[in-house]
C-alpha cells in the first residue's frame, strides 16, 4: 500500500531505474547472440526478471553480477535448448510477444503461459503474421490467448502491413525475420518505439528503416556486445508529472532515455504549457540519453491524438492525472490500444480517478478529462497494473486528503523503489 498527500513545492534532481524495453531486449538479443553480452543499468523489475527466467529455461546462462549488472552467455539461435517446463512470462506482454518471434524460428517445442492479465491480452496480432511466415503455433481459442505452444521450424520472410502501431508486433516479426528465408518487411500506420531497430545493429545486425517501415534480411547472426541501459522515460514521466501537480516545483531527471519514439509525453507536457528542457549528453547502443528538467506554473487542457499516441502510450494514465489540474478540457483520441494493456487503462484510469472527484468521460478510443478539479482523498486500487498504481499515487500530490493506493506491489513490474523515491519529493 502507498499513501500520498498534498505536497509543498519541491525541487529535486534524481535518476530512475533502467528502461524496461531496452532491458528486455538486452537479455533477449544477448541470449540469441554468439558470445558474451554485458548489461549495465538493467531494470531489476518483475517483467525483466521474467525474461531472464525464461531464457534461463532455454539453457542460456545469465549471471546477475549486481542488481543492475547482468552477463548473458549467448548461445546463438541454434544453441537454445528445448525447455522442460512451460515458460512463464508473468505480467509481461513484451516478453511473450518478442519470445514468440524468436521461438518460431528455432527447432524446439515450448509452451508459454503468464498471469491473469496476460491470459486476457490479445496474441492473435503476432500469432497470425507468424503463421503466415510458417510458424506452428497453437493455443487457447485458436491461438488468440495463452497458453500458447510453439513448435519452431523453418520460416519464410513476410511483408506485413500491421494494422496497429505496436513495437511488440514489429519486434516479434523482425526477430522471426532474422531466422527466415529472404527479407521481412514490417510497415506500421505510425512509427512505434524503435529500440529493436536501434539495438540490433549494436549486435552486428543490418536492417533498413524508412519512416514507419523496417526491412531485415534473414540468416544474420548476432554477436554479443556491451549494453548500457538509460533510465526509463516512462518511469521518469511519473516524477515529472509530480512536479506539474505542485505548481512552483522543479524536477530534473538525469541519464534518462530520450529516444524520440518515446518522448511524446514531453511534447504533451509542453503543449500543456510546461517548461521542458532536454539535453542529450550521450548515445548508448544508438539510443540518445540525457537530462530532462521540468517546471510549470499553470497548465492548459490539450488534444492528444494520432502519431503522438504510440510515442506516449504507456504515459496516458499519468497524463490523465495531470490533465485534472489543467485549465480547460483534455481530449485523448486514437488510443484504443489502452484497452489491451495490463488492464483496460481507459476504464481503470477513469474509474480510479473518479474516486478522487475527477470528472472524466470514457470514449471508444480514449477519454475526456475536465480540468481545474480539486482532487479529494480516497482509497484507490492498482487493479494489478503498475502504471495505474503509480498514477494514483501521484494524484495524491494535489489532493485535499490522503490518497491510499492498494495493490501497490504491482509497481515492481517496472519501477522498483517508486514508493521510496516519491516519499523524498
Ligand atoms: O516493445 C516494447 O517494449 C513495448 C511496446 C508497447 O506495447 P505495444 O507494442 O503493445 O504497443 C508498450 O506499451 C510496452 O510497454 C513496451
Ligand atoms: C504495456 C506495458 O508492458 P507490457 O506490454 O510489456 O506488459 C507497460 O509497461 O505499460
**pLDDT tens, position by position, 12-70:** 999 999 999 999 999 999 999 999 999 999 999 999 999 999 999 999 999 999 999 99
Between the CA of 165 and the centroid of ligand 1 the distance, in Å, is: 10
Put simply, whether the predicted model's pTM sits higher than 0.90 gets the answer yes
CA–centroid distance, residue 8 to ligand 2 (Å): 32
Q: Residue 84: its pLDDT value, please?
A: 98
pLDDT of residue 171: 98
- Tell me if 329 is assigned to a ligand binding site: no
Ligand 1 and 314: CB distance under 6 A: yes
Ligand index nearest the alpha carbon of residue 315 = 2
21 in contact with ligand 1, CB cutoff 6 A: yes
The best mutation among 94, 112, 336, 348 to test binding of ligand 2, ranked by most ligand atoms within 8 Å of the C-beta, falls on 94
Pick out the chain residues at pLDDT < 50: none
* Cell (9 digits) for 295: 517546471
Q: Is the CB of 254 under 6 A from ligand 2?
A: no
Q: What is the ipTM metric for this complex?
A: 0.99
Share of the chain above pLDDT 90, in %: 100
pLDDT tens by residue, 110-157: 999 999 999 999 999 999 999 999 999 999 999 999 999 999 999 999
Alpha helix locations (H) across 159-292? 167-177, 195-199, 233-245, 264-271
Q: Quote the CA–CA distance of 425 and 422 in Å, as a whole number.
A: 5
Question: Does 21 carry a binding-site annotation?
Answer: yes
Q: Is 110 exposed, middle or buried (0-12, 13-18, 19+ CB in 10 A)?
A: buried
Ligand nearest to the CA of 167: 1
Q: Which long-range contacts (CB under 8 A, 24 or more apart) does 285-288 make?
A: 285/22, 285/198, 285/199, 285/202, 285/225, 285/227, 285/228, 286/198, 286/199, 286/201, 286/202, 287/22, 287/195, 287/198, 287/199, 287/230, 287/257, 287/259, 288/257, 288/258, 288/259, 288/260
- Residue 94 CB–ligand 1 contact under 6 Å: yes
Task: Give pLDDT, residue 356.
Answer: 98
pLDDT at 425: 94
CA of 197 to the centre of ligand 2 (A): 19
Question: Could you give the domains of the chain?
Answer: 2-17+230-423 (3.65.10.10), 20-216 (3.65.10.10)
Per-residue pLDDT, 173 = 98
d(CA 167, ligand 1 centre) in Å: 5
Amino acid at each position: 500500500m502507498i499513501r500520498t498527500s498534498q505536497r509543498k513545492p519541491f525541487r529535486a534532481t534524481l535518476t530512475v531505474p533502467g528502461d524496461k524495453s531496452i532491458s528486455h531486449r538486452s537479455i533477449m538479443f544477448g541470449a540469441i547472440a554468439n558470445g558474451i553480452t554485458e548489461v549495465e543499468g538493467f531494470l531489476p523489475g518483475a517483467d525483466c526478471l521474467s525474461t531472464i527466467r525464461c531464457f534461463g529455461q532455454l539453457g542460456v546462462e545469465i549471471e546477475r553480477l549486481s542488481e543492475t549488472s547482468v552477463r548473458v552467455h549467448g548461445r546463438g539461435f541454434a544453441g537454445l535448448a528445448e525447455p522442460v517446463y512451460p515458460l512463464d512470462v508473468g505480467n509481461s506482454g513484451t516478453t511473450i510477444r518478442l519470445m514468440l518471434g524468436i521461438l518460431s524460428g528455432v527447432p524446439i517445442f515450448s509452451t508459454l503461459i503468464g498471469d491473469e492479465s496476460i491470459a486476457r491480452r490479445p496474441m492473435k496480432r503476432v500469432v497470425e503474421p507468424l503463421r503466415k511466415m510458417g510458424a506452428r503455433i497453437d493455443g487457447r481459442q485458436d491461438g488468440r490467448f495463452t497458453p500458447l505452444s510453439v513448435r519452431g521450424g523453418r520460416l519464410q520472410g513476410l511483408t506485413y502491413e500491421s494494422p496497429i502501431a505496436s513495437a511488440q508486433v514489429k519486434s516479434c516479426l523482425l526477430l522471426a525475420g532474422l531466422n527466415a528465408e529472404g527479407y521481412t518487411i514490417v510497415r506500421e500506420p505510425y512509427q512505434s518505439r524503435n529500440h529493436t531497430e536501434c539495438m540490433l545493429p549494436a549486435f552486428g545486425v543490418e536492417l533498413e528503416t524508412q519512416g514507419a517501415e523496417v526491412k531485415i534480411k534473414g540468416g544474420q547472426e548476432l554477436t554479443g556486445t556491451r549494453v548500457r541501459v538509460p533510465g526509463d522515460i516512462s518511469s521518469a514521466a511519473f516524477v515529472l508529472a509530480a512536479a506539474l501537480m505542485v505548481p512552483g516545483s522543479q524536477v530534473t531527471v538525469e541519464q534518462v532515455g530520450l529516444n524520440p519514439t518515446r518522448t511524446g509525453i514531453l511534447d504533451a507536457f509542453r503543449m500543456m504549457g510546461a517548461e521542458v528542457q532536454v539535453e542529450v549528453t550521450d548515445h548508448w547502443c544508438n539510443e540518445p540519453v540525457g537530462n530532462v528538467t521540468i517546471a510549470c506554473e499553470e497548465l492548459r487542457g490539450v488534444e492528444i491524438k494520432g502519431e503522438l499516441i504510440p510515442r506516449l502510450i504507456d504515459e496516458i494514465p499519468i497524463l490523465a492525472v495531470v490533465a485534472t489540474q489543467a485549465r480547460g478540457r483534455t481530449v485523448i483520441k486514437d488510443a484504443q490500444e489502452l484497452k489491451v494493456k495490463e488492464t483496460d487503462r481507459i476504464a481503470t484510469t477513469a474509474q480510479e480517478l473518479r474516486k478522487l472527484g475527477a470528472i472524466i468521460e470514457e470514449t471508444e478510443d480514449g477519454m475526456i478529462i475536465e480540468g481545474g478539479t480539486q482532487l479529494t482523498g480516497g482509497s484507490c486500487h492498482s487493479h494489478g497494473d503498475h502504471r495505474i498504481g503509480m498514477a494514483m499515487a501521484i494524484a495524491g500530490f494535489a489532493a485535499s486528503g490522503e490518497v491510499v493506493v492498494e495493490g501497490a506491489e504491482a509497481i515492481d513490474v517496472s519501477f522498483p523503489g517508486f514508493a521510496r523515491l516519491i516519499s523524498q519529493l
